[in-house]
Amino acid sequence: MKHTPFWWEDAPRETTIPETQPAKVDVAIIGAGFSGLNTAIILARAGCSVVVFEAGQLGEGASSRNGGMLGPSFHKLGIAGLINQYGKETTHGILRESIGFVDFLADFLTSKNIDADLKHTGRFQGALRQSHFEATQKRIDGLNQVCGEIAHMIQPKDQHLETGSTRFTGGVVYHMDAGLNPAKYHNGLIDVARKAGVIIVPYTAVQNLAKTSNGFNLTTRLGRVQADQVAICTNAYTGKELPWFRKRVLPLRSAIITTEPIPSDVMARLMPKSRMYGDTRRMVAYYRPSPDGTCIIFGGRASSLRDQPAANARNLHRSMCEIYPELKDTGISHVWSGLVAYTFDHAPHIGQHNGMDYAMGYCGSGVARSSYFGQKLAYKMLGDAEKGHTYFDNLDFQTKPLYSGNPWFMPMVLGWHRFMDRMI
The Cα–Cα gap between 59 and 57 comes to 6
> Exposure of 385 by Cβ count < 10 A (0-12 exposed, 13-18 middle, 19+ buried)?
exposed
Q: Among 65-73, 132-140, 157-165, 397-405, which window interacts with ligand FAD (CB under 6 A)? A: 65-73
CB nearer to ligand FAD: pick between 133 and 343: 343
Q: Among 33-41, 132-140, 260-268, 320-328, which window interacts with ligand FAD (CB under 6 A)? A: 33-41
Tell me if 81 contacts ligand FAD by CB under 6 A: no
| Residue 220 near residue 207, CB atoms below 8 Å | yes
Among 77, 76, 70, residue whose Cα is nearest residue 174: 70
Tell me if 56 contacts ligand FAD by CB under 6 A: yes
Residue 316: partners with Cβ closer than 8 Å, 6 or more residues away: 255, 256, 257, 298, 299, 300, 335
Q: How many C-beta neighbours within 10 Å does residue 8 have?
A: 18
| Residue 285 near residue 278, CB atoms below 8 Å | yes
> Exposure of 418 by Cβ count < 10 A (0-12 exposed, 13-18 middle, 19+ buried)?
middle
The Cα–Cα gap between 278 and 127 comes to 9
Q: Among 117-125, 223-231, 306-314, 358-366, which window interacts with ligand FAD (CB under 6 A)? A: 358-366
Nearest-approach distance from CB 82 to ligand FAD, in angstroms: 19
Q: How many C-beta neighbours within 10 Å does residue 113 have?
A: 9
The residue whose Cβ lies closest to ligand FAD is 366
Radius of gyration of the chain from its Cα atoms, rounded to whole angstroms = 21
Using CB under 6 A, pick the residue from 21, 364, 378, 379 that binds ligand FAD. 364
Nearest-approach distance from CB 372 to ligand FAD, in angstroms: 11
CB nearer to ligand FAD: pick between 127 and 360: 360
Tell me if 33 contacts ligand FAD by CB under 6 A: yes
Tell me if 388 contacts ligand FAD by CB under 6 A: no
Tell me if 372 contacts ligand FAD by CB under 6 A: no
Q: Which of residues 191-230 bind ligand FAD (CB under 6 A)?
A: 205-206
Nearest-approach distance from CB 12 to ligand FAD, in angstroms: 16
Using CB under 6 A, pick the residue from 35, 159, 181, 319 that binds ligand FAD. 35
The Cα–Cα gap between 206 and 222 comes to 10
| Residue 233 near residue 360, CB atoms below 8 Å | yes
CB nearer to ligand FAD: pick between 55 and 127: 55
CB nearer to ligand FAD: pick between 165 and 181: 181
Tell me if 189 contacts ligand FAD by CB under 6 A: no
Tell me if 65 contacts ligand FAD by CB under 6 A: yes
User: What is residue 92's three-state secondary structure?
Assistant: helix
Q: Which of residues 230-259 bind ligand FAD (CB under 6 A)?
A: 233-237, 239, 241, 254, 256
CB nearer to ligand FAD: pick between 133 and 368: 368
**What is the DSSP secondary-structure string of 28-79?**
EEE--SHHHHHHHHHHHHTT--EEEE-SSSTT-SGGGTS--EE-----TTHH
Nearest-approach distance from CB 206 to ligand FAD, in angstroms: 4
Among 132, 136, 224, residue whose Cα is nearest residue 174: 136
Q: Which of residues 286-345 bind ligand FAD (CB under 6 A)?
A: 286, 299, 337-340
Question: Where does this chain bind ligand FAD (CB under 6 A)?
Answer: 30-36, 53-56, 60-63, 65-69, 205-206, 233-237, 239, 241, 254, 256, 286, 299, 337-340, 360, 362, 364-367, 370
